[in-house]
């Protein structure tokens, strides 16, 4: 009889191994992966082979509700086994099995399954992400856009395009049996499972309704696992009608239109184009982008979320005088600055399709809002001066505890199949020294209100200041206004006390070793439509 082996980490990550694996297996001369293969394919002693339930190649058995193991991270798989063995995870079948495994066997089985090819087509799933429905099923919306009115990020923001998984901490969730996925989300919601790293899944599942849980489980189960059935699966996922939710980025005196209410007319096509550029900037405006960031990285929920610099609050304030360049800026010029600084790229022409589309999207979001008025939720909610001066060491500790899981220990972010899932916070793929986020005050305000993702306002003000200091004490691309001298550029453009450009940190002058501004600006955006840009 096959014994089921359940284990999960962040999001849906339950897996089943069949058979009992016991402590004291003879030492092999094989490599760890070969040892794991023997356990998986042939079992050991009285233990049945894992393939009994999970398929010959770890592809799972959807009809029976057994999830796939192939391609999941070795560290992730091992961590779940260790959790059962140490009593941190509870399951009457898995606990004795995991306790019977020694550390070497856990590593071997995990290594074996991690090196098997994933049972889905990553390219097909990436293409699906490019065409996800804006007015599709509830599951599609939650997966690709989230429900920010309830602080629920999009699933793909952690699990990558199409749910293919990112790194060791965010497993692949595509193709899992819907009943299984639903059971795991309910377990988190009902606090029957450990909340996981940074309590992300415990918190997020707790905010999902039972209807949403079912919808998102069905959606990821329906996604194409190969390029051949892509079109059919997209049609299937669109068949379910999504229930409308309340507007997600409301303010006391203004609420933007529902996110799925873009008009189906010629104007709406341009608005939709603007939203596409905003969500996947490198794909739809890559000729003006010099890093791997997207507008939505700093303007959460497609520019709708209050206190995350929402577009509806910015639109009504331009034209406006800006001290950054000491003249009145049009809205087009303001957007050009985002490309030049935050995207470390080039300015699109003011009359280009790119600028017109973004302006149209902003106009649509702000329709009905009073002009020339600072709406509640505009920009980032500024923090008071910290009780203690912002500190590099404390900031580093906060980063390691709260940020490195997603953005990487080196701050370089994490990508999958060329799609940046978690943006770089410093280095060549991040914003340059001219971007507004390089200010510690601005970064601290954004972090406090919005990070960790979906759990904003959980860090203390001091922690936000400290981690912003640490983040901006790292090197990044040069300021486009650089005149050949770090000292002169610092005096002219970076003399605020919350600006670290030109300062000596860890024996190095920030800005002195920056790569030139502009990055590797793309000649053409991927999948970009013809335009007059």
Which residues lie across from 44 on neighbouring strands? 47
Q: Measured between alpha carbons, how far is 76 from 110 in angstroms, rounded to an integer?
A: 8
Comparing 402 with 89, the larger pLDDT belongs to 402
The count of residues in the chain is 533
One fold for 266-366 and 392-509: yes
Above 80 in pLDDT, residue 10? no
Q: What is the per-residue pLDDT for 376? A: 92
Q: What is the per-residue pLDDT for 416? A: 87
Q: What is the per-residue pLDDT for 94? A: 65
Burial class (CB in 10 A: 0-12, 13-18, 19+), 87: exposed
At 122-143, the pLDDT tens digits run 777 766 665 556 556 899 999 9
Q: What is the per-residue pLDDT for 9? A: 38
Q: Measured between alpha carbons, how far is 174 from 188 in angstroms, rounded to an integer?
A: 19
- At residue 75 the predicted structure's pLDDT band, cuts being 50, 70 and 90, is confident
In a 3-state reduction of DSSP, which class is residue 138? helix
- Percent of the chain beyond pLDDT 90? 60
From first CA to last CA, the distance across the chain in angstroms is 64
Above 60 in pLDDT, residue 396? yes
DSSP string, 17-76: --S---TTPPPPSS-HHHHHHHHHHH-BTTBPPTHHHH-TTS--BGGGTBPP-TT--HHH
> Cα dihedral sign for 249, 281, 315, 346?
positive
Element spanning 207, H or E: helix 200-207
Q: Measured between alpha carbons, how far is 172 from 159 in angstroms, rounded to an integer?
A: 7
Element spanning 130, H or E: helix 122-130
In a 3-state reduction of DSSP, which class is residue 522? coil
Domain boundaries, the chain: 32-114, 122-239, 266-366, 392-509
Q: What is the per-residue pLDDT for 128? A: 63
At 52-71, the pLDDT tens digits run 677 788 888 777 777 888 88
At 169-228, the pLDDT tens digits run 999 999 888 998 999 999 999 998 888 889 999 999 999 999 999 999 999 998 876 534
Q: For domain 122-239, which architecture applies?
A: Orthogonal Bundle (1.10)
Q: What is the per-residue pLDDT for 127? A: 65
Q: Averaged over 265-273, what is the pLDDT?
A: 97
Give the Cβ contact number of residue 274 at 10 Å.
28
Q: What is the CATH number of domain 32-114?
A: 1.10.760.10
> Cα dihedral sign for 505, 511, 512, 513?
positive
At 28-37, the pLDDT tens digits run 446 777 888 8
- Percent of the chain beyond pLDDT 70? 82
Domain spanning 392-509: CATH superfamily:
Cytochrome c-like domain (1.10.760.10)
Provide the whole-model pTM: 0.78
The dihedrals phi and psi of 367, each to the nearest 5 degrees, come to -60, 130
Q: Averaged over 153-160, what is the pLDDT?
A: 93
Q: What is the CATH number of domain 266-366?
A: 1.10.760.10
Closest by Cα among 332, 331, 285, 335 to 531: 285
Above 90 in pLDDT, residue 419? no
Above 70 in pLDDT, residue 7? no
- At residue 530 the predicted structure's pLDDT band, cuts being 50, 70 and 90, is very low
- At residue 49 the predicted structure's pLDDT band, cuts being 50, 70 and 90, is low
Q: Measured between alpha carbons, how far is 444 from 304 in angstroms, rounded to an integer?
A: 20
Q: What is the per-residue pLDDT for 531? A: 43
- At residue 279 the predicted structure's pLDDT band, cuts being 50, 70 and 90, is very high
């Amino acid at each position: 009889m096959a014994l089921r082996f359940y284990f999960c980490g962040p999001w849906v990550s339950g897996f089943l191994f069949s058979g009992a694996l016991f402590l004291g297996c003879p030492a092999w001369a094989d490599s760890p992966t070969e040892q794991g293969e023997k356990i998986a394919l042939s079992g050991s002693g009285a233990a049945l082979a894992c393939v009994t339930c999970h398929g010959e190649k770890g592809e799972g058995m959807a009809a029976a509700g057994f999830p796939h193991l192939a391609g999941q991270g070795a560290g992730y798989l091992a961590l779940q086994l260790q959790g059962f063995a140490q009593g941190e995870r509870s399951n009457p079948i898995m606990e004795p099995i995991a306790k019977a495994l020694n550390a070497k066997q856990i590593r071997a089985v995990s290594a074996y399954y991690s090196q098997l090819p994933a049972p889905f087509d990553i390219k097909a799933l990436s293409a699906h992400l490019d065409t996800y429905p804006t007015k599709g099923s509830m599951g599609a919306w939650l997966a690709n856009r989230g429900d920010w009115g309830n602080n629920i990020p999009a699933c793909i923001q952690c699990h990558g395009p199409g749910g293919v998984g990112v790194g060791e901490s965010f497993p692949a969730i595509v193709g899992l049996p819907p009943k299984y996925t639903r059971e795991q989300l309910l377990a988190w919601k009902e606090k029957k499972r450990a909340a996981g790293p940074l309590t992300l899944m415990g918190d997020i599942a707790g905010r999902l309704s039972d209807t949403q849980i079912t919808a998102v489980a069905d959606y990821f189960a329906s996604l194409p696992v190969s390029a051949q059935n892509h079109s059919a699966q997209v049609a299937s996922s669109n068949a379910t009608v999504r229930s409308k939710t309340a507007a997600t980025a409301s303010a006391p005196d203004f609420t933007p239109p529902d996110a799925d209410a873009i008009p189906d007319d010629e104007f709406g096509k341009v608005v939709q184009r603007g939203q596409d550029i905003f969500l996947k900037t490198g794909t739809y405006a890559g000729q003006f982008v010099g890093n791997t960031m997207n507008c939505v990285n700093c303007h959460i929920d497609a520019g709708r979320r209050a206190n995350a610099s929402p577009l509806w609050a910015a639109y009504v304030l331009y034209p406006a005088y800006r001290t950054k360049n000491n003249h009145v800026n049009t809205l087009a010029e303001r957007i050009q600055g985002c490309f030049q600084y935050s995207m470390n790229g080039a300015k699109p022409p003011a009359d280009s399709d790119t600028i017109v589309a973004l302006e149209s999207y902003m106009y649509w979001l702000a329709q009905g809002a009073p002009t020339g008025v600072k709406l509640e939720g505009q920009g980032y909610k500024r923090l008071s001066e910290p009780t203690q001066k912002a500190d590099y060491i404390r900031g580093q500790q906060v980063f390691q505890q709260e940020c490195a899981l997603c953005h990487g220990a080196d701050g370089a972010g994490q990508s999958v199949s060329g799609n940046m899932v978690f943006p770089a916070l410093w280095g060549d793929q991040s914003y340059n020294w001219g971007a507004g986020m390089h200010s510690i005050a601005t970064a601290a305000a954004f972090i406090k209100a919005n990070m960790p993702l979906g759990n904003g306002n959980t860090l203390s003000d001091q922690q936000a200041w400290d981690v912003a200091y640490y983040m901006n004490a790292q090197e990044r691309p040069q300021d486009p206004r650089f005149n050949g001298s770090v000292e002169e550029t610092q005096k002219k453009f970076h003399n605020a006390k919350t600006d670290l450009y030109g300062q000596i940190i860890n024996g190095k002058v920030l800005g002195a070793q920056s790569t030139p501004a502009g990055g590797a600006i793309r000649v053409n955006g991927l999948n970009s439509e013809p335009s007059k840009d």
